[in-house]
Amino acid sequence: MHRTKATTLKIVETLTEEQLVMLKELEQEAFGVHGSIDEWVLVPLARHGCIILFQEEGDSRPVGVCELMRDFRQPDKAYVYGFYIRADKKGLGYGYTFLESLLAQLREDGFTKVCLTVGPENVGAVALYQKAGFQIIETRIAEYGSGYDRHYMEKRL
């Protein structure tokens, strides 16, 4: 692990045009054309869901981004819509640090459970989530259409 600078969570409630452009680029880098989201999802997520930036001291771009939604059927359950670390910061321990900080914040905010989906082929992400205490509850075949299976994972806080 090579991190030395302080990191913080920053909740974004509105997005500037500059932030929109930057987040769209980071989304594309992290998820490609089939998984990334654009301003039509980012803006409502910031205003009515939750976008959390993982900032490192002295870096204008976030090291990581997490998009969250609250489950209407279980209001004490948060759904991780998107979670990623910037490509140039992967493999340096940021993912686990960000995830642990995020889970602590959710606990503090009164959530008792958190869930997410992840592609089974994304073994690094699956391992990260399992290290943080998430369990695979089921594998959803063709969750986003043919060829897009997802593990559904949960963690009690």
Reported as a single tens digit per residue, the pLDDT across 38-94 is 999 999 999 999 999 999 999 999 999 999 999 999 999 999 999 999 999 999 999
Q: Tens digits of per-residue pLDDT, 2-47? A: 555 889 999 999 999 999 999 999 999 999 988 889 999 999 999 9
Residue 1 lies in a domain: no
Alpha carbons within 13 A on the beta-carbon side of 33: 0
Asked if the structure places residue 142 within a domain, the reply is yes
2 domain-assigned: no
What pLDDT sits at residue 136? 98
Total domain count, the chain: 1
- Is 65 a member of any domain? yes
Q: Which domain holds residue 70?
A: 7-156
The per-residue pLDDT for range 85-122, each reduced to its tens digit, is 999 999 999 999 999 999 999 999 999 999 999 999 99
Residue 68, domain member (yes or no): yes
Q: Which pLDDT belongs to residue 1?
A: 54
The CATH number linked to 82 is: 3.40.630.30
Report CA-CA distances (Å) from 52 to 123, 136, 149, 155.
Answer: 24, 24, 26, 19
